[in-house]
Structure 1
Amino acid sequence: MIRIEGIAAFVATVENGSISGAARQLRLSKSVVSERLAELERSLGGALLHRSTRKLGLTEDGAAFLPRAQRITRDVAEAAAAIAERRGTLSGPLRLAAPVTFGRLHLGPALYPFLKAHPDLALTLDLDDRRIDVASSGHDAIIRHGVIDDTRLVAWKLAKSRRLLTASAAYLAEHGTPRTLDDLRRHRGIFYTNRGAADWRFRTAAGPVSVQARSMFGVNNGDMMRDAAIAGLGLAMLPAFIAAPAIKAGDLTAVPLDVAPDEEYLYMAHAQGRDPSAKLRALRDCLKEAFGDPPYWDAV
């Protein structure tokens, strides 16, 4: 007989990359997780994992079983949460992914009161600047800044995100202050590598226009983009939620172009075809209220 505890141990081991990680997530001893994995493999009649002293990998059977196992554990968790929600409480696991800088600066402070108000929730937050594939990663939702063009996702707008072209006073004194889009092409750019050097998009009377400047520095983290701009390496297109404190402190200047950067949004997105739980909807509403309209970080 296949037991749900064994399936949960298998999924947690794969998603954490180790039995130790699974034990920490499940709050069990390593020996209990190992026993549950062994019992599951006996029930299925074959090995699911390659075990070695250095790494753990999926067997062919394990790779085939994993998506179904993830779906089973998610369905059981959602069923338990649905019963709790019928009783007027939010409970059970919730897994999110979000960009590092936004998570640290703004998402965390908005989450903590929500979690305190709902102590039966068990939230796992993965901060990563990579583009997470929520349709296959096991996350309930992702927080994303910018355009979402994945048709497999349902996106909820959380807040507007004003973007600012920024530079240090020292850089502008040395290289001049650009006034037009043509001026930008002669300047050094600091770019977010997950978007590329064509990320400078502006609103014009003829519609959105992208400008490609000379790449001076590329990095996949907003904090480092801001710091590189403060160091005078070049111009950086930054969201106000990163740039505003540095502008207020006088470390950065918003470059006064004759056109404005294209407007963007912060989204919470979940996989299409998966009914969002009451706890996910409640979290969405909490974040929208915490960020405000217009969002508090836009007050530059």
Structure 2
Amino acid sequence: MMKLEGISTFVTVAHAGSISEAARRLRLSKSVVSERLAELERQIGAVLLHRTTRKLTLTEDGTAFLERASRIARDVEEAAADMAERRGQLIGPLRISAPVTFGRMHLGPALYPFLANNPGIELSLDLDDRRIDVAAGGYDAVVRHGSIIDSRLMTWRLATSQRVLVASPAYLEAHGTPGSIEELGQHRGIFYANRGIADWSFPTAKGTATVRGCVGLRVNNGDMMRDAAIAGLGIALLPTFVAGAALKSRELLAIDVGVQAEGEHIFIAHPEGRMPSAKLRALADHLRTAFGYPPYWER
């Protein structure tokens, strides 16, 4: 008879991509993880994983087994969580991915009291600015800024997010302050690399106006964009949750070119077709309250 711990271990290894990472997530030794996998393969009578010194890949049998094994592991976790929720408790693992800057500046401080009030939740938070595959990565949900492109995700809005053009007083003194989108195109820009383009877009009555400035810096991190703008390297289009404190201290100044960048949102998204747990619903409700409406970084 197959053991649930073996099935759960296999699912974790498949999602983690290595025995070492799976052992870290499960808080087990690598030898225990390997023993569970070997026992599961003996019980099934099939090799589920190709193991080499450099990487680990699923066999054809492993790929076929993973879908049902994932469903079994998830159903068991949800059943245990449901029983706990009937007793008024929120318990069990919860794995979330979030952007680095927003996670450090705002998500973390909002999470700490939630976790303190719900000590039975085992939260794993991965901070990563890349777009990740929620289901394949083994996440319960992702927190993201902007728009959610993946149609397989169900999204809940957590907060609004405005973006503003900013530059340092020294940069504007040296290069002038643009007063229109035409003048904006003559300036050096600091761009977010993960958007894949080096331009600024603004909705207007005649459609979207796109401005391409000279690239002073492209980087995939909001903190560095803000710091580069403070250092006088150019103009940046930043969310207020990143630039708010620097605007208040006047390390950065807002620039008005006659049009505003399209508003965005902070989202939490979970895979479509999967019933969100009570833990995830409670977390989303807590974050909405913690951020406020409008969110505190825009007041």
TM-score, normalisation: structure 2: 0.93
1:63 deviates by 3.1
The gaps in structure 1 that reach 5 residues or longer are none
Q: Residue 196 of structure 2 corresponds to which residue in structure 1? A: 196
Q: Tell me the distance in 1 between the aligned counterparts of 2:20 and 2:196.
A: 37
Question: Within 5 A, what are the aligned runs for 1:1-300?
Answer: 1-197=1-197, 200-299=200-299
Residues 22 and 239 from structure 1, CA distance in 2 versus in 1: closer, same or farther, beyond 3 angstroms?
A: same
Q: Equivalent residue of 1:279, what SS?
A: helix
Letter in 2 for 1:104: R
CA RMSD of aligned residues (A): 1.8
Deviates more, 1:176-185 or 1:63-72: 63-72
Letter in 1 for 2:236: A
The gaps in structure 2 that reach 5 residues or longer are none
Deviates more, 1:44-53 or 1:135-144: 44-53
Q: Tell me the distance in 1 between the aligned counterparts of 2:28 and 2:150.
A: 37
After superposition, what is the alpha-carbon deviation per residue over 1:94-147, rounded to whole angstroms, capped at 9, x for unaligned? 111110110011001101111111111111111110111224322111111011
Q: Equivalent residue of 1:39, what SS?
A: helix
Q: Tell me the distance in 1 between the aligned counterparts of 2:68 and 2:228.
A: 45
Indicate if the aligned counterparts of 1:198 and 1:210 stay in contact, CA closer than 8 A: no
Q: Tell me the distance in 2 between the aligned counterparts of 1:16 and 1:213.
A: 40
Indicate if the aligned counterparts of 1:93 and 1:123 stay in contact, CA closer than 8 A: yes
After superposition, what is the alpha-carbon deviation per residue over 1:189-212, rounded to whole angstroms, capped at 9, x for unaligned? 111112133652324333543323
Q: Tell me the distance in 1 between the aligned counterparts of 2:25 and 2:133.
A: 21
Q: Tell me the distance in 1 between the aligned counterparts of 2:6 and 2:209.
A: 54
Residues 135 and 53 from structure 1, CA distance in 2 versus in 1: closer, same or farther, beyond 3 angstroms?
A: closer
Q: Tell me the distance in 1 between the aligned counterparts of 2:137 and 2:51.
A: 22
After superposition, what is the alpha-carbon deviation per residue over 1:57-115, rounded to whole angstroms, capped at 9, x for unaligned? 33333233333322222221112111111221111111111101100110011011111
Letter in 1 for 2:71: R
Q: Equivalent residue of 1:233, what SS?
A: coil
Q: Equivalent residue of 1:276, what SS?
A: coil
Q: Equivalent residue of 1:194, what SS?
A: helix
After superposition, what is the alpha-carbon deviation per residue over 1:170-189, rounded to whole angstroms, capped at 9, x for unaligned? 22122211111111111111
Q: Tell me the distance in 2 between the aligned counterparts of 1:196 and 1:53.
A: 34
TM-score, normalisation: structure 1: 0.93
Q: Alignment identity in percent? A: 63
Moved over 4 A (4+): none
Indicate if the aligned counterparts of 2:15 and 2:136 stay in contact, CA closer than 8 A: no
1:31 deviates by 2.6
Q: Tell me the distance in 1 between the aligned counterparts of 2:183 and 2:278.
A: 50
